[in-house]
A and B are shown apart, each in its own frame.
Chain A
Amino acid sequence: AQSVTQLGSHVSVSEGALVLLRCNYSSSVPPYLFWYVQYPNQGLQLLLKYTSAATLVKGINGFEAEFKKSETSFHLTKPSAHMSDAAEYFCAVSGLGANSKLTFGKGITLSVRP
């Protein structure tokens, strides 16, 4: 069984400040991990993914995440927030197999203050 925990429902940062969105996972097998972003009334856009290669993963829009097996974490960071980063962010986990399904966390809303 797999699950993802995203603590909190809302993070607010000032423009230019560090963004840190936390994600912890539980998996009985080596996981693939993902971060997706969703803008209002839109589908999901993949930000980045960990697929057992480098533990520090760089994604689009300046985001990156580090896989830490010892902490079962995959936190998302961005050094400097931009107003356009305001959105809903989902962490997700899957197994490695061809029929693996994505299991999503409950999501977290990022607000960026001017």
Chain B
Amino acid sequence: AQKITQTQPGMFVQEKEAVTLDCTYDTSDPSYGLFWYKQPSSGEMIFLIYQGSYDQQNATEGRYSLNFQKARKSANLVISASQLGDSAMYFCAMRLWETGANNLFFGTGTRLTVIP
């Protein structure tokens, strides 16, 4: 069965510091994609970054990078130079190729609080 695990219910980080949010996944499907979304209190899920299972390099998008360790089945999100606006819920999600649908499996999320 497919599963996403986020073990950090809450994290605190000082403004301008870097923070790592953990995500591990479980699937027997060789083809999958891993996503990170940010969810402010308004509710909208904002796409941050994507990593494919066959990608050779770790994905980066501005201040966001994904530390992909395939053998350990982990896909941690690194946010550099944290800003107050980064305070939100962060969800890791996985999509499988074989399901043939845009069915994202989500973790339970990590609430990030940036301290001034």
A binds B: no
